[in-house]
Chains A and B, each alone.
Chain A
Amino acid sequence: MGKRKGVESSIALADSAAMCRIEAIAAYPITPQTHIVEHLSEWVNDGHLEAEFVPVESEHSAMSAALGMSAVGARTFTATSSQGLALMHEILFIAPAMRLPIVMAVANRSLSGPISIWNDHSDIMTDRDIGWVQIFAENGQECFDLVPACFRVAEDKRVVLPTILNFDGFVVSHMIEPIEFWTQEQFDAYLPPFDPQIKLDVRKPVAMGAVGIPEIYYEARLAQQNALLNAKAVVVEAFAELEKTVGRKYNLVETYKADDADAILYLMGSLSETAMTAVDNLRAQGKKVGLVRPRLWRPFPTQELLAAFGNVPVVGVCDRALAFGLEHHMVAQEIRTLFYDAPHRPKLVEFVIGLGGRDVTIGDMEHILNRLLEVKNGAPVGPVEYVGVRK
C-alpha cells in the first residue's frame, strides 16, 4: 500500500509522470494545466528527474517538439488545455500517423469565444477524432493512477499510439485530495522502459513522415484506424495489471447502480461524482436510477457500453460542449449512433450542462434524473434541454 497524502490533482499527476521516468517534456503554459508543467520543471531543475524540459514558444511547437523527442526514442510527455489544444490541432493528427506514443494530459476547458478559462469539454470534443487513445480521469487519484496506464498502453508494441488523459480543468486539476501514491518500485514493475522498434537512428536510417501518394494514403489511414481499434484489448490488460499493482479496479466503462435501473444517465468526466450523490438521493426515495460513463473514450467501447446500458428503457445524455448548427451535440450523437443498430433502443433524452464553468449542482443532477423517470412513465422526450442556462 502506497502512502496517502493530501495533494493537488495537478501536482499528483505531474509526480506520476515523473515517476514514469519520462525523459523529454515540451510544454507551454496555459491555464488550468500550468501546475503540471511547473511542477515537472521543478522535478527537472532540482535534479530529481533525468529529463530534458523544453519550454517551447507555443503549443504548436510543444506538440511538434514532442514528436521529435518521441521519434528519437525518448519517453515524451506534455500537457495542455483549451486554446493550447486547439493550436496543436494540426499536429495532433500527425503523431498517431507516425505512431509516436506521446502521452498528454489535457485539463479540459472551454474554448473561445468569449474567452473563458473555466471547465467544460469544448476543447476535447473538437479533437475527438484525432486518432489518439483517449482516457478520462474523474478525480485526483485517477489522474495519478492513469498516467502510467496511458504510457503502458501507448508504448505497447501492439498499439504504439499517442494517448490523452482527460480530466476536468479546475474542478479536478486544482482540487486537493487525499491521494495514494505508488512506490517507485511499483511504477518500474508496471511500466517497462520505452524501447521503440522504429526510431530516428543514424545507425539505421529511416524516413518518418513521407508523402502519402494516392496509392498509399488510404491504406495508411486505415492501418491507423485498425491500430486504434485494436488498442482496446491492451487497455483492458493495462487496467488489469494496474489492479494487481495497487488494488484499484478500472473498467473501460464505469457504472454506478446501473444494473437494475429504470433510467441511466450517461456523462463524461468529473460530473459523475456530483451525479453519484444525486443517484443516492433518488435511490433513497425508491427511484431506480443509475450512471454509465466511459473511462476509455477512444477507441470507443461500443460492446461494453451496450452491455452496461442493458435493456434500460430510458437513457439521458449530458453534453458539455455544443455542436453548433445541430441540436444533437457530440456526446448525444455518439450515443444515438451506439443504439441505432442495437436490438434494444431506449428513449434518449439529451441535456447540455455546465458550459464554461457554469456550476452544476446536485439539484441539477436530481432534476435530470427525475426527467428521465418522467419519460420512463410516459412523458414526451422533447428537444435537448439546456440545464442551468438563464432564459
Chain B
Amino acid sequence: MIEQYNVYAAKLLPPEELFASGHKACQGCAPALALRYLMKALGPNTIVCNATGCMEIVSSAYPDIAWGVPWIHVAFENAAAVASGVEAGIKILQRKGKLAPGKINVVAIGGDGGTFDIGLQALSGMLERGHNAMYLCYDNEAYMNTGIQRSSGTPFGASTTTSPAGKAIPGQRTVKTALLEIAAAHQIAYAATACTSYPFDFMEKVKKAFSYDGAKMIHILAPCPTGWRTNPGEVIKHGRLAVQTGIFPLYEVDHGRYKMSLDLPFLKPLKMYLSPQGRYRHLTEEQVAIIEANMKARYAKLQALCRITAEV
C-alpha cells in the first residue's frame, strides 16, 4: 500500500515488530534499523540466516532473542551457504508435500566484513546457483563488532583500528569495493543499494526483490556512530548526506537494467558528509580530492550505465 505514497507515512507500516526492541545494539545503531525495516517489509513468512557479526551478537544472546521469525546463525562466512541450504530444503519439502505450500522468504544477512571479505565466495555461490533467496549486506564500513577494523568495504582515507590515521599512512589506503557490481555480474534478477535514512525506498526494494524468483541482493549503507565516531543522534542525517553527496548513490539493477532511485538535481558538497565524522578528521585536502574524484567517476559511470541499459 505504501508504494502509492511518496511521503513519510509510518502509520501505514505493519505495527508488528518482528525484530523486537530490547536487543543490545549501541545507541544510534543504523544496522538495527535496517533489520527492523527489513522485517516490516517481509512479515512473518520469513526465515533469517544471519552471519556472525554485530547484528547476530546483539540480537541473540540466549535467552534474549530479538527475532519473531525462524532464525539461524551458523558462522561468519557462510550465511549465503546456509540460506542456500534452507531454500533447497524448503523447496524439496514443499515438493514432497511435507511442508505446506506458500511463499517463504529466505534472507541471508551479513555485515560488510561478512560479505565483502570473508563471505564473498559463499555469496557468489548463492547468487550463481540462483537460489530463491535474498542476501542483505548491512554495510557500516568496517568490522565494528571486533572493534572497528578495516574491511574491503571501508572507504579510502577512513581511519580504523587497522588502518589508523598514522603519520606515514593516513588511514585506509584502498577504495571501497563495488560490491553491488559483483552481485550484478552474476546476472541475478534484482540487485539494489539502499540506505537506512531512506526506509521506504529500502522496504520497497525488499518487496520488489521478493516479487522475483531467484537470487537477489540488497546492499544497505547503515551508519555506525561508534565506528564512524559521529553523534548517535545524527545517523539519519549522515546516511542522507552519504546519498545526497553522491558517495553512496541509491540505485537498482533490475534484470540488468540500472536505475537511479532518487532524482537528485545536484550533489551536495562532499565535505558536508566527511567533516562530521571522526574517522575522516585527519583527511588532507589532497585525500579529499582523491575521494571526490573517485566518487565523481563512479557516479558518472553509474549514470552512463542507467542510460545504456535503459535501451537494452
Contact = CB atoms under 8 A, between A and B. Distances in A.
B36 interface: no
B142 interface: no
A65 B84 contact: yes
B186 to A, nearest CB: 12
Given A23-B96, A54-B85, 5 more contacts: A60-B81, A65-B84, A205-B70, A210-B65, A212-B62
Contacts of B70: 200-202, 205-208
A74 B83 CA distance: 14
Contacts, number: 164
Interface of B: 44-47, 49, 56-57, 60-63, 65, 67-75, 77-78, 80-93, 95-96, 98-99, 104, 121-122, 124-125, 128-129
Contact of B121 (A61, A201, A210): A61
B74 A209 contact: yes
27 contacts: A26-B85, A52-B89, A54-B85, A56-B84, A58-B122, A61-B81, A61-B121, A64-B75, A64-B82, A65-B82, A66-B85, A68-B81, A68-B86, A71-B86, A72-B85, A73-B93, A73-B99, A91-B75, A200-B47, A200-B71, A201-B70, A205-B44, A205-B69, A205-B71, A207-B70, A207-B71, A213-B62
Interface string A23-34: 110100000000
Contact of B85 (A69, A207, A209, A211): A69
Interface residues of A, number: 42
A69 B77 contact: no
B233 to A, nearest CB: 28
A23 B92 contact: yes
Interface of A is mostly: mixed
Contacts of A243: none
A19 interface: no
A9 to B, nearest CB: 27
A67 B57 CA distance: 20
A76 B61 CA distance: 28
Interface of A: 23-24, 26, 50-52, 54-58, 60-61, 64-74, 76, 90-91, 94, 98, 200-202, 205-213, 216
B62 A24 contact: no
B104 A202 contact: yes
Nearest to B77: A60
A72 B90 contact: yes
B275 to A, nearest CB: 37
A234 B32 CA distance: 45
A51 B88 CA distance: 9
- Most chain B CB neighbours (cut-off 10 Å) among A58, A61, A90: A61
B69 A24 contact: no
A54 B99 contact: no
A201 B71 CA distance: 9
Contacts of A23: 89, 92-93, 96
A74 B86 CA distance: 9
